[in-house]
Structure 1
Amino acid sequence: MANFIDLFFNIDIMMKAWPLLLKGLVVTLKLCAVVIGLGLVGGLMLALCALSPARALKWPAIGFIDLFRALPPLVLLVFVYSGLPFAGLELTPFVAVVVAFFLNNSAYYAEVFRAGIQSIPKGQAEAARATGLSQGQCMVHVILPQAVRNVLPDLLSNTVEVVKLTSLASVVSLSELLYSANMARSVTYNSSPLILAALIYIAILWPLVRLISRYQRGLAVH
């Protein structure tokens, strides 16, 4: 038992690894902010294009959504980082991760937004147009606020998945949280830094998971 604790819960090693993991956490948070922000904006634009009556917008958007939802994010990441240089486009690890995860996550966010927009009765849009609002104003002021409220648990759940997905960035040697923990493990020959990284992920995501559950229960009651 003492050997198990020393291998996985060694406080001294965790304290020594903490500065390195803290730097990795900062990179992870920056990555999450960029990927989530771009994913939300890109997803909304894709959803609006997919719902557009114009075929020139609708079918390319649907094809994009289907393609990048079907591609495994790890395969996409390796292709962007290791495959594009053969075409003369070499990206830094951070930019490669942002591009790959943007393509993947915007497709998932798009499906969530599309479901939310389609959940709003058409009569509301017609009533809003009857008051003199333009189609754009109707979407911004009437449809989207209700749509986002209807799918907020799904948006938050997808955001949790994005945060967990960033751990894949260690594959391209981006010094995010998991990569930093693994480096500390290789130096100390001890798994305690990995346990510390897992605890940090839990501390970040647990409140969000509880918030989603509480919100879902609230929707069920109403």
Structure 2
Amino acid sequence: MLDFTLVQKYIPFLIKASWVTLEISILSILIGLILGLVIVLMKISSIKPLSLFADFYIWVLRGTPMLVQLFLVYFGLPQLGIELSPFLASLIALGMNAGAYMAEIFRGGIQSIPKGQMEAALSLGMDYPTIMRRIILPQAFRVSIPGIGNESITLLKDSSLASLVTVSELMMTSQRFASSNYAFIEFYITAAIFYLIMTTLLTFVLRRIESKLAVAD
């Protein structure tokens, strides 16, 4: 028989672990947004080495499992003399992976902007960086919000992989308590509820942002 009363006294610890999950997720999303913007600008650049590097980066990061990337950062870098804490290694791996997906989301947003706007701005004497900063990117960002939201939710769930490098986030904490109490179903269902609450809240925030930035037809 299932006994969820076993979980009750551990709820404060699960809440604390959920904050760690949120911290990793939010910081990774921010890293992914910044890195994705840099990568997409490199990708659409007329400078060939930059665009080739961006293509290679996206190809590798999207084409390999995030778990492999995480293990390379956490277990591989020490072989090169670079030792990172589990939290920092998870943050770097998740952020780099998100950057590749964000870059493609931004690319789709940029390509959705009519080319006539770029031509009109050039005819008015504006330079390329100014056009991108003041005209193209603001519109592309609005268009990209749904894709950014989906990637953010995916990243929040994928943050559970950090448990494999001993980060005391929600999944690892739930697993530890489940093992010590022999109540795997109860603790894993509770963890799933916590993840569902966090993804629901994130979805709500992103939809509010999308509605604020929406442009009436």
Common fold: TM-score over 0.5: yes
Structure 2 match to 1:181: 174
Q: Hey, what's the Cα distance between the residues in 2 that align with 1:35 and 1:45? A: 15
Structure 1 match to 2:80: 87
TM-score of the aligned structures, taking structure 2 as reference length: 0.90
Structure 1 match to 2:197: 203
Count of aligned residue pairs for this structure pair: 212
Query: Could you give the per-residue CA deviations for residues 121-176 of structure 1, whole angstroms, max 9, x where no partner exists?
Result: 11101212333432222111211121122222111101110101100101001000
Q: Hey, what's the Cα distance between the residues in 1 that align with 2:34 and 2:171? A: 27
Task: Return 5+ residue gaps in structure 2 as ranges.
Answer: none
Structure 1 match to 2:19: 26
Q: Hey, what's the Cα distance between the residues in 2 that align with 1:208 and 1:122? A: 33
For residue 105 of structure 2, the aligned residue among 97, 102, 112 is: 112
Within a 5 Å distance, the mapping from 1:93-104 to structure 2 comes to 93-104=86-97
TM-score of the aligned structures, taking structure 1 as reference length: 0.88
**Pairwise CA distance, 1:213:** 8.7
Q: Hey, what's the Cα distance between the residues in 2 that align with 1:73 and 1:28? A: 16
Question: After the TM superposition, which parts of structure 1 deviate over 6 Å for at least 4 consecutive aligned residues?
Answer: 210-216
Query: Could you give the per-residue CA deviations for residues 177-217 of structure 1, whole angstroms, max 9, x where no partner exists?
Result: 1111111111221122221111011111135457879979x
2:31–2:96: 8 Å Cα contact kept in structure 1? no
> For the aligned residues, what is the CA RMSD?
2.2
Q: Which amino acid aligns with 2:67?
A: L
Q: Percent identity?
A: 38
Structure 1 match to 2:118: 125
